[in-house]
């Protein structure tokens, strides 16, 4: 199961309680920064914007493709390791607002991870080092290191054999 913290609400659905959860101006600032980063073609500028203004942990040489959408409310709960690729139009969420509750969870993406285009990563998920996520995948649970996953809902297509892991480590 995903690692999320639950917060229950009374009355209207949890989205109506949004500004009790997070300051309005933080959402505005995050939205502006994320929109600038989504459209800039300069990878270094994107990483700088994410680190400096949003508190996202971004490893060296990580590349966010065009139109990647980070969580606008809690981007500081997202970390991406070094030399990873986040594909076109991928959405990375650290929150989910439901009818009677909202949930918050860290998203941890390892080193040398490939996320295919149009994927969605839900809160509370860890993606291990060297994993590959196929395009259009709904990542709703952890992805083991070195695994190849895909689909909606996500399924493990292939796990890296132990000897393959050792060969890569020795290179």
Superfamily for 5-170? Hexapeptide repeat proteins (2.160.10.10)
Q: Of 49, 109, 103, 123, whose CA–CA distance to 81 is shortest?
A: 109
pTM score: 0.92
Query: Alpha-carbon distance 56 to 48, whole Å?
Result: 10
Pairing status of strand 138-139 against strand 120-121 = parallel
> Which residues are known catalytic residues?
95
Q: What does the domain layout of the chain look like in residue ranges?
A: 5-170
User: For every one of its 171 residues, what pLDDT tens digit does the chain have, with 9 covering 90 and above?
Assistant: 799 999 999 999 999 999 999 999 999 999 999 999 999 999 999 999 999 999 999 999 999 999 999 999 999 999 999 999 999 999 999 999 999 999 999 999 999 999 999 999 999 999 999 999 999 999 999 999 999 999 999 999 999 876 565 555 545
Q: Of 87, 69, 84, 79, whose CA–CA distance to 30 is shortest?
A: 69
Query: Alpha-carbon distance 49 to 121, whole Å?
Result: 21
């Amino acid at each position: 199961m995903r690692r999320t913290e639950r917060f229950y609400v009374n009355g209207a659905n949890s989205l109506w309680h949004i500004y009790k959860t997070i300051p309005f101006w933080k959402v505005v600032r995050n939205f502006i920064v994320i929109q600038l980063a989504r459209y800039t073609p300069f990878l270094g500028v994107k990483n700088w914007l994410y680190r400096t203004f949003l508190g996202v942990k971004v490893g060296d040489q990580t590349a966010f493709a065009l139109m990647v959408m980070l969580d606008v409310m809690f981007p500081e709960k997202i970390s991406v390791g070094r030399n990873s690729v986040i594909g076109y139009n991928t959405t990375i969420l650290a929150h989910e607002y439901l009818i009677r509750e909202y949930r918050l969870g860290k998203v941890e993406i390892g080193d040398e991870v490939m996320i295919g285009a149009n994927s969605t990563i839900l809160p509370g998920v860890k993606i291990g080092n060297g994993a590959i996520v196929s395009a259009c995948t709904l990542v709703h649970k952890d992805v083991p290191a070195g695994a190849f996953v895909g689909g909606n809902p996500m399924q493990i297509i292939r796990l890296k054999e132990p000897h393959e892991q050792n060969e890569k480590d020795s290179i």
